A and B are shown apart, each in its own frame.
Chain A
Amino acid sequence: MQKIILFAILLICANASTQVPTGDLLIRNGTVLTITKGVLEETDILVEDGKIKRIGKNLKAPSNVREIDATGQFVMPGIVDAHSHIAIDAVNEATHPVTSEVKVGDSVDPFDLSIYRALAGGVTTIHAMHGSANAIGGQCQTLKLRYGLMDPSSFIFEGAARTIKFALGENPMRVHGEGRGVQPRTRMGVERVIRDAFQKGKDYKAKWAKYEEQKKKNPNAVPPLYNERYQTMADILDGKIIIQCHSYRADEILMLMRVLDDFGVHRITFQHVNEGFKVAPELAAFGAMASVFSDWWAYKFEVYYSTAYNATILTRNGVITSINSDSGELIRHLFHEAAKTQRYGDLTDEEALALITINPARQLGIDNRVGSIEVGKDADLAIYKNHPLSIYTIPQLTIVDGIVRFDLANDPADMRIYVDPEESTPTYFGQEQVEGCLIDTDFMFSHQH
């Protein structure tokens, strides 16, 4: 009997934990930057149960619903960061050049303070990525920044597309070729490793198909040994996973498109892609998307021939482009990173803001849910004093599923949730590691600096 009660309690808890809290709100009289449907002056947004219910003037809400006065302020969709390594405990499974079997979604850390700091910059969704140590890294996880919840699973963006990290060039070459003495040590080797994994995935898929055929005639047919690594490759071949490929140089970008074409794979976003501008017509023709830095360059040789005009060139050549952070510092001001495309190029306000909203949402397969302010979409919103592309903008409020998760008017200095009483609070100085992608691999290079 006791066992049954315990089981019932556990069942209720499990159910409760998958229930993500949602809220009701009425945001009054803001300048609404919808991204997809223009700019609406002095407009209200009614939020019900975490969704945008109505957009218009003089909307009415039930009396118990919180009203937010956004007069003179700018309301935009919550920012989507297509490349981040915050909110996870582990980044690189740097033990093999192919680790498609691991999932960063298994290491979500609800207590990472970076989540709150990202919210404070208007970010509501992130793509938490495996690192770039491996040619084929682990599967990534799209998360909603519901800071304050304790259950890792409550951060999962339900319904987001499955994604996987690939990496070309120096990082896999350094980690495996230089660091471990195994392929790849060159960009030729990177291609070989990737082709090899796809071929094995294809063979694996064929084996299972053959087994399914045999099973129809012979109920005692022996199934092939299950292999998560090659099952994942098979899922990529079946178009069930969007590749998110860390890349820099034009040649390696072309290489991967050739490989994918040979295997009939077409869902890909190139990440960083500093030399994407050189092959923008090819990217557009392939239907590949691009997620870039606003201005990072020169931190290694493969980004020496970069230009901050990358996002503009890609956009003007018809490539769906986003700007990402890859950094716990930069994620706090992605609106400013998007604004830089107006110095390095001539993108309109709408095009610039699309780089951090609807475009990354498309790249993660969540544009039906977030990335613009439209009726029926999730109430993930960010409110700013001054236009978010102005240097003088200041984030005021960030809302996830209709719940206020950051409020400048109520922003205590210490926002940690889990505080270890034994722990002192150290002070940190100096610059952040430039490339978040190589986190967890520094032990391999202790002989270098």
Chain B
Amino acid sequence: MNKHIYILFFLLTCGFSIRAQQVEKSTYGTFALTNATIETVTQGRLENATLIIEDGIIKAVGEDVAIPADAQVIDCNKMTIYPGMIDSGTKVGLKEIGSLSLTQDYNEIGEITSDMDALTAVNPNSVLIPVTRVSGVTTVITGPSGGLFPGSAALIHLHGYTPEQMYGGFKSMVINFPSSGKRGRWDRRSEEEIKKDGEKAIKKLNDIWERVATYASIDSATQGQADYNPELAALVPVYRGEMTAFIEANKSSDILAALAWIKENKVKAVLTGVAEGWRVADSIAAADIPVITGPVLGMPSRDTDHYDQAYKNAGLLQKAGVKVALRTDDAENARNLPFNAGFAAAYGMGQEEALKAVTIVPAEIFGIADEVGSIEPGKKANLFVSTGDPFEPSTAIEYLFINGWNVPIESRQTLLYEEFLHRDPGVSTESKPGKS
């Protein structure tokens, strides 16, 4: 009888352990990453060094670091530790399937929907999230688009079961600065119509801003008792310079107009898009406004531009003295951030600056450089371990930590690979097509 119970117990535990293997979970605790090359980004490169993770934080970094007794040791021999990469503009978590609008939560109806908060609609269980993070992208800005004021974007770390667990402590108001360029080759508006639309939009922007000014002064005078107006209320922190605005502008003349508007209204701003930034790089540098640009793997904005102008844009801006962070402006392929950075590097930015543009520079722009963006003691353990330069396609990402969690290098795409590389059953004569 006893024997049977043991056998039963054995079978049960077998079953559980097989189940546990099927869904590999992230683990938390004390980790010692040893024998590693460490690309700190801010403190140079360390060889044969150790990194300790404890309580979700990078506890120690260096060549002579004591390994805590309870630490799980990961030998990183011949591997390099990098800070987690930050994609400064995506729709990750807000968009699932491109052609199905009911799976998309980034474009609310209305020109002015400034009270929309991306964090409300971030789906922590999006299939896109693991696909993105296994490339070493631990953190993204995800945000709304469309209209003049589509709402606020949020910084999220790509691990967690609720938006709150993922939230990285930074939000910004998205403003689509009125554009005088075509929105794409499908945009069939005439030059005249585009100009008219642009003028109308500028007027609307300025009208709104006047109303925000009034609303803000009423709000001050009444100690926060102004009448209910969620769109204006959401813009008050931007008006008061307490909240960053992401101002999307791409055509050179629009960028200059946006710079003038920022100066006039004393807005704490970051320019986004900035496809033609290279044409007016000196003006952007002089205004001391940081830039989020991308995708790098994009088309030139004019038929009269070099085929590789979009590759070069980030480097030209950075060389002119602009603080440049990179974005993919993508959702399902935000995983290509390292490749976008690689192209920027090859086309003038250089590897070192391109790496900064996806780590410490965005961290500084978002005011969270004390938490992420480099490998330094006291910072959040957002990092990955790779076989080499993460911009090179042939490099493999071996380990991934987000908020101190050791996250498995696994996504639906890797699981499909494991299942189908050598499919079982393979082909049989009975199942051969045509013989059905």
Contact = CB atoms under 8 A, between A and B. Distances in A.
A60 to B, nearest CB: 35
A428 interface: yes
A328 B433 contact: no
Contacts of B393: 336, 339-340, 342-343, 389, 391
Nearest to B299: A329
A284 B432 CA distance: 11
10 A-B pairs with the lowest CB-CB distances in the bound complex, closest first: A261-B434, A391-B342, A299-B98, A281-B427, A257-B433, A298-B332, A309-B417, A427-B181, A300-B99, A339-B393
Contacts of B302: 425-428
Interface stretch (A30-38, A80-88, A364-372, A410-418): A410-418
A199 interface: no
A22 interface: no
19 contacts: A116-B307, A277-B417, A282-B427, A297-B332, A304-B127, A309-B421, A390-B392, A391-B343, A391-B391, A413-B304, A414-B304, A426-B182, A427-B182, A427-B276, A427-B301, A429-B184, A429-B275, A433-B185, A434-B98
A286 B433 contact: yes
A297 B414 CA distance: 14
A411 B306 contact: yes
Contacts of A305: 412, 416
Chain B interface category by residue count? 35 or more
Contact of A431 (B97, B181, B184): B184
By DSSP majority rule, is chain B's interface helix, strand, loop, or mixed? Answer: loop
Interface of A: 113, 116-117, 120-121, 170, 254, 257-258, 260-262, 277-278, 280-282, 284-286, 295-301, 304-309, 312-313, 316-317, 328-329, 332-333, 336, 339-340, 342-345, 386, 389-394, 411, 413-416, 424-434, 442, 449
A317 B305 CA distance: 43
A304 B96 CA distance: 9
A280 B420 contact: yes
Interface in B411-428: 412-414, 416-417, 420-423, 426-427
Contacts of A329: 297-299
A395 to B, nearest CB: 9
Contacts of A336: 339, 343, 393
A432 B299 CA distance: 8
A120 B307 CA distance: 7
B304 A416 contact: yes
Contacts of A297: 332-333, 413
Interface of B: 96-101, 127-128, 179, 181-187, 191, 250-251, 273, 275-276, 295, 297-299, 301-309, 329, 331-333, 335-336, 339, 342-343, 345-347, 351, 389, 391-396, 412-414, 416-417, 420-423, 426-427, 431-436
A223 to B, nearest CB: 34
Given A343-B395, A389-B394, A428 B436 contact: no
Given A307-B414, A332-B308, A426-B302, 18 more contacts: A120-B308, A282-B427, A282-B433, A297-B332, A297-B333, A299-B332, A316-B421, A336-B393, A344-B413, A391-B389, A426-B182, A426-B191, A428-B183, A428-B187, A428-B299, A429-B184, A429-B251, A430-B183
A309 B436 CA distance: 29
